[in-house]
Structure 1
Amino acid sequence: MTNNHEAHAPSGRPSTSPPGSADVPPITLRSPAELADALPYMLGFHPTDSLVMVAVHGEGGRFGGRLRVGIPATSEEWEDTARQVADCLVSGSRRRGVKPDGIVVFLCQDPRGDESGQRVMTRLRPLAQRIRLACGALDVPVLEALCLSAGRYWSYCCPDERCCPAEGSVLAAPGASVMAAAATFAGLQVRGSLREIERRLTPLRGPAAEEMERALDRTATALVPKILDGATREEVGAETVRLARALMQRMTLALPAETGPAADDWDDALLGDDEAASLILGLQDREIRDIAAEWMEDEEAGPALRLWRALARRCVGAYGEHAAAPLTLAGWVSWSTGDEPTARIALGLALRADDEYRFAQLLHHACNEGIDPEGLRQCLREERRRREPRRGRLSAAVRRDVTRPPGRRNRTSRRQSGRTAGSEQ
């Protein structure tokens, strides 16, 4: 089997992603071990608690569309899930004009409690069998089905213990295989695990979340009547845009020293609770959100993505649905800047927060169908030029408004001083 350049996976809901670019030299995979090793490179991240299916085409076994969905928590859901994912992948491939000649299935789940990896494999075997039957009913055979757990893999299709022993086979160490070298040469990246990527976009917990929810309550009491009043709605929108640009500039001037969760802590410290609450509520207005979507490239993309991630983490408690807006914006910036795996995860989380959020629905579908984001970028550029005759970088007014970065202040120090970052400007 061969794998081409791009492989994608949405989060939380069954969906397909298109085959990769034909311009990248193929990588040949000849065994279950190589398939297991290739999975993170096909998706762009290490899947956790995931059912992954990959379409296979032609005599050479070229990989096509991919699908990822969380493994249902109860076995009662397995029958319906198997039918849905099989139909989703096969119908998605047919829409692109090529019915799969076969499918490769991966079941990835860490052990729970004292459970062993082998026990996970045994527990998930009925799910693997249901998927094989569902694909067979669509006249598409499952060529291989693998379980990945506790650093090992098992084949549900190979009965030969010489290559697929009962205790499983050890997965190659990350970056230590021929597949890893070939993937690196082909430009494939692994952006951590699904769990790690989702953690950067999920709400805060504990005392910080309680404090944030109180800020949201206060701000909602003050802002919602103004948003609903046509006479003051435009004023709230203008203030939301001004504040968002100011915070982007603050983040530009205060770059984190590290990446990942440490960088998120840094950004959280730069953003006051009342500021975050004002932005979260302001972004519920579609017109304001569309203006924010224009910050998707060049020097604006980085600070915008940091801001949207930080706001998504502040949508706590009763305000969980409000996360759909910043999560969708985070997904859009990720997609616009070429990080499609993260885009799908963010958009999937947006739809988990509000499954009727239309902008997330449209972006999720377009990203899964392999549509070039340049068309939407061009539309947003034109709209910005129409609205801002002197389009450019952050305005001089905003630059004057933000005289210095507030530094890395924790919430305790803000409470002690009685001031938010916004009151220091």
Structure 2
Amino acid sequence: MTQSNEIQHGESSSEAADVKVTLRGPADLADALPYLMGFHPNDSVVLVALHGEHGRFGGRLRLGLPEDPSEWPETADQLADCLVRNSTRRGGRPDAIVLFLCRDPREGERASAVMERLRPLAQRIRVACGALDVPVVEALCVSAGRWWSYCRPAETVPAEGTVLAPPGRSTMAAASAYAGIPAPGSLRDMEARLKPSEARNRDHEIALDAACAELVPRMLDDGDCESVRQRTLALARAALEKFRSAPRIDDPARADRRDDRLLADNEGAAVILGLQDRTARDRAAEWMEPERADAALRLWRALARRCAGPYADHAAAPLALAGWVAWSSGDEAEARVALGLALDLEPHYTFARLLHHSVNEGLDPELLRRSLRQERRQRVIASTTARRGPVGSAGRGPGRHSPGDRRVRTRR
């Protein structure tokens, strides 16, 4: 299974506002899916655990749909095991599971053909869950604004599917609007804000080439690496202030284009290279407080969008930072998307793995915020003491690591 699988626990998004919603049948389930996940899960397989007599929502797991049908049996077994095992570990073995397969048609393909093409995968997952004594009580295919049930007799399911409720007209949409929860966007749109465009920008790559030639030797030099960190953070702070000062734009695509223009090519490249040093990255992670969070998230997105071609894997650091700020700000959906993309690029990237695990486990980000605040205080104290003269252990200088620590491209 790929690294970008996601598990969510808890009930529907509206529950955060103490609003309870009763879903009555497959139509309501299909309409509720984006609100359960926080986004429209394009090209995805989603499993949702149900608990108790009334089917309370529990853990939710999403995985990109495997393109190769030969992978479906193993995928089905892993998905069923992962959801049941993680739900059990959290104290509640599922009583049942709801399955969703989401895929839009290819060019010239009918949505009903998509449903039939995915039927064997749905059956594989139903069998895998049944083998763990957890039945799949409903399995839905969602494609091109319609839904089909794999669990109901064929004669009761329209061949062309059933049309989803218009945006804003479903039970979940009404409950979410009442609770003040915004309508979810699509997974594809969320990923587009974090990925380079298909048209590669040669100017960005030239700037990254120049930054790489200048900075990597200095980052490997014990005597110069700290000055590169300081320069990286200074450039990032200056960019952050530009982003904070820019007028708000509500349209995401326009806002991203404007943010891209706020970054000079050489400045963006220098920050991207500098963030490959994990000490610099950890210090940048401190910019998660409310007054900086929005600008920081936009900055990390803009930097990730510049990492294309031979520098694609350099996006792991800004993506992980974007995931951290999103999680810290309460947007778990974007946090999972950003961290999943970081792990797709660097499956063993410890920083992203730990954050991804923490989000999936439902941990409170305040625990990490407190740790970062404490590290910042200790660094300020150590720096002040060093300027006044060494006193005991403080004379070793700022930061948690000795100047001899080399952290270029390790990205732990």
Does the alignment reach a TM-score above 0.5? yes
Structure 1 residues 192-244: Cα deviation after superposition (integer angstroms, max 9, x where no partner): 10000000000234352x22111111110011000000100011001111110
Which shows bigger deviation, 102-111 or 213-222?
213-222
CA distance in 2, matches of 1:12, 1:34: 30
Shift, 1:22, TM fit: 7.8
Q: Displacement of 1:47 after TM fit?
A: 1.0
Aligned to 2:258, which of 237, 242, 266? Answer: 266
Q: How far apart are 1:105 and its partner, in Å?
A: 0.2
TM-score normalised by the chain length of structure 2: 0.89
Match of 1:39, SS? helix
Q: Supply the AA of the counterpart residue of 1:379.
A: S
User: How big is the shift at 1:279?
Assistant: 0.3
- Residue 13 of structure 1 is matched in structure 2 by 4
2:368 is matched with which residue? 376
Q: Is 1:181–2:174 an aligned residue pair?
A: yes
Displacement, 1:187?
A: 4.3
The separation in 2 between residues aligned to 1:101 and 1:83, in whole angstroms, is: 18
Question: Aligned with 2:258: secondary structure?
Answer: helix
More off after superposition, 313-322 vs 221-230: 313-322
| Equivalent position of 2:277 in the other structure | 285
Q: In the alignment, what sits opposite 1:308?
A: 300
1:166 maps onto 2:166 in alignment: no
| 1:212 and 2:210 correspond | no
Name the counterpart of 1:139: 133
Alignment of 1:3-42 (within 5 A): 13-20=4-11, 24-42=18-36
Amino acid at match of 2:9: P
Taking the aligned partners of 1:173 and 1:368, their CA distance within structure 2 comes to 31
Match among 346, 355, 359 for residue 363 of structure 1: 355
Structure-2 change in CA distance of 1:186 and 1:286 (3 Å): same
1:126 to 117, 120, 127: 120
Any conservation in 2 of the 1:111–1:120 contact (CA below 8 Å)?
yes
Residue 57 of structure 2 is matched in structure 1 by 63
Q: In 1, are the aligned partners of 2:3 and 2:347 still within 8 Å (CA)?
A: no
Q: Is the 8 A contact 1:15 1:88 kept in 2?
A: no
Aligned to 2:404: none
SS of the aligned residue for 2:224 comes to helix
Residues 62-108 of structure 1, C-alpha deviations (whole Å, 9 max, x = no match):
01000011100111111111011111101110110111000000001
Partner Cα separation in structure 1 for residue 168 and residue 372 of structure 2: 39
Aligned residues: CA RMSD: 1.7
- Counterpart of 1:182, as a letter, is A
Counterparts in 2 of 1:237 and 1:22: CA distance versus 1, 3 Å: closer
Q: Which residue of 1 aligns with 2:313?
A: 321
Residue 335 of structure 2 corresponds to residue 354 of structure 1 = no
* Structure 1 letter corresponding to 2:282: D
1:188, CA displacement in angstroms?
Answer: 3.9
CA deviation after TM superposition for structure 1 residue 191, in Å: 3.2
User: Tell me, which stretches of 5 or more residues in structure 2 are unaligned?
Assistant: 384-412
Deviation at 1:160, TM superposition (A): 6.0
Alpha-carbon deviations, 1:234-266, whole Å to 9, x = none?
110011111100110111122343431110100
Summarize the Cα distance change of 1:55–1:338 in structure 2 as closer, same or farther, 3 Å threshold.
same
For 1:84-163, list aligned pairs within 5 A: 84-159=78-153, 161-162=155-156
User: 1:77 aligns to what?
Assistant: 71
**Partner Cα separation in structure 2 for residue 138 and residue 74 of structure 1:** 25
Q: Structure 1: which 5+ residue stretches go unaligned?
A: 1-10, 392-425
Tell me the alpha carbon deviations over residues 164-202 of structure 1, each in whole angstroms, 9 at most, x when there is no partner.
322211100110123311222244433310000000000
Superposition TM-score, scaled by structure 1 size: 0.86
> Is the partner of 1:105 in helix, strand or coil?
strand
Q: Following the alignment from structure 1 to structure 2, what is the Cα–Cα distance between the partners of residues 207 and 160?
A: 47
Q: Percent identical across equivalent pairs?
A: 58
The Cα of 1:390 is off from its aligned counterpart by 12
Q: Distance in 1 between matches of 2:243 and 2:181?
A: 29
Aligned equivalents of 1:302, 1:15: Cα separation in 2: 24
- Cα–Cα, structure 1 residues 213 and 385, in superposed 2: closer, same or farther, change >3 Å? same
How many residue pairs get aligned? The number is 379
- Write the letter of the residue equivalent to 1:217: D
**Aligned partners of 1:81 and 1:271: how far apart in 2?**
41
For the residue of structure 2 that corresponds to 1:388, the secondary structure is helix
| Cα pair distance change 1:22/1:301, threshold 3 Å | closer
**1: CA distance, partners of 2:47 / 2:333:** 15
SS of corresponding position for 1:231: coil
**DSSP-derived class of the 2:230 partner:** helix
